[in-house]
Amino acid sequence: MNIVLGTKEYELEGVTINQYEEIKKINKEGKDIKNAEYISLLTGIELKEIRKATVQQIGFVSKVLNNYFNNSTTKSNVRPLINYKGVMYGLAKPSTMTWGQWSDLEVLTAQQEYDLKHLASVLYQPCKTYDLDSGEYTTELYDYDESLGRSVDMKDFLVKDILSAMLFFLKYAGLLTSKQKDYMEAKMKEMESVRQTTEPTKKS
């Protein structure tokens, strides 16, 4: 999205984790944020530049950015491959996900306050190989310590990408759990049926 402020045009790619958490923190504290500060936070434009714009411009851009923020923090299509700061990252594939990676995701998504930077570093791993045309890729083997260390640098990761990937994981986990439950119930019924047919008849 492009916005015009003063005499300059700025291109915005989406709300980052850092911006999202800053806005969330301000809202949680119940503080009022001025239009100029809101614009600066979501665009990175320095306040001295924003001061050159008219009051009407600032009011209009602030409203536009509010819609932009809401649209940028809702789920979108899951992106399996993402180029982040010059490195290609691949979304974890449930079929090849390690037990450690699965367990860490379960712990992180069970928390009341999501650590989005850590979630991004667990769900997306650096690619070993990738083909943009076919969409095929392989990722580095998951390592908790490396993932945790990398999470510090995920502040500029787009919120919509991590929220969409997280929703994908939660849906898959729910489906897997449901299938396991159905399987266990079926096995229990089968075992009970076998027990009843093999149980000796009591003498009267």
Alpha carbon distances (Å) from 15 to 2, 19, 73, 93: 13, 6, 7, 25
Q: Could you tell me the pTM of the whole model?
A: 0.75
The CA distance from 143 to 15, in Å, is 28
pLDDT at 184: 44
pLDDT digits (tens, 9 = 90+) for 124-154: 999 999 999 999 999 999 999 999 999 999 9
β-strands 2-5, 8-11: how paired? Answer: antiparallel
Tokens of residue 147, six digits = 């993932």
Tokens of residue 145, six digits = 């310590």
pLDDT at 179: 42
Residue 91 predicted with pLDDT over 80: yes
- What's the mean pLDDT in 115-132? 94
Distance from CA of residue 173 to its chain's centroid? 15
pLDDT digits (tens, 9 = 90+) for 157-198: 999 999 888 888 877 665 444 444 443 444 445 545 544 555
- What's the mean pLDDT in 83-104? 90
Per-residue pLDDT band at 83 (split at 50, 70, 90): very high
pLDDT digits (tens, 9 = 90+) for 9-67: 888 888 999 998 988 888 777 777 788 888 898 888 888 888 888 888 888 998 888 88
Q: Between 28 and 81, where is the model more confident?
A: 81
Give the residue from 8, 62, 11, 21 showing the smallest Cα distance to 40: 62
The CA distance from 190 to 187, in Å, is 5
Written in H, E and C, the secondary structure of the chain is CEEEECCEEEECCCCEHHHHHHHHHHHHCCCCCCHHHHHHHHHCCCHHHHCCCCHHHHHHHHHHHHHHHHHHCCCCCCCCEEEECCEEEEECCCCCCCHHHHHHHHHHHHCCCCCHHHHHHHHEEEEEEECCCCCCEEECCCCHHHHHHHHCCCCCCEHHHHHHHHHHHHHHHHHHHHHHHHHHHHHHHHHHHHHHHHCCCCCC
Residue 92 predicted with pLDDT over 70: yes
pLDDT at 187: 45
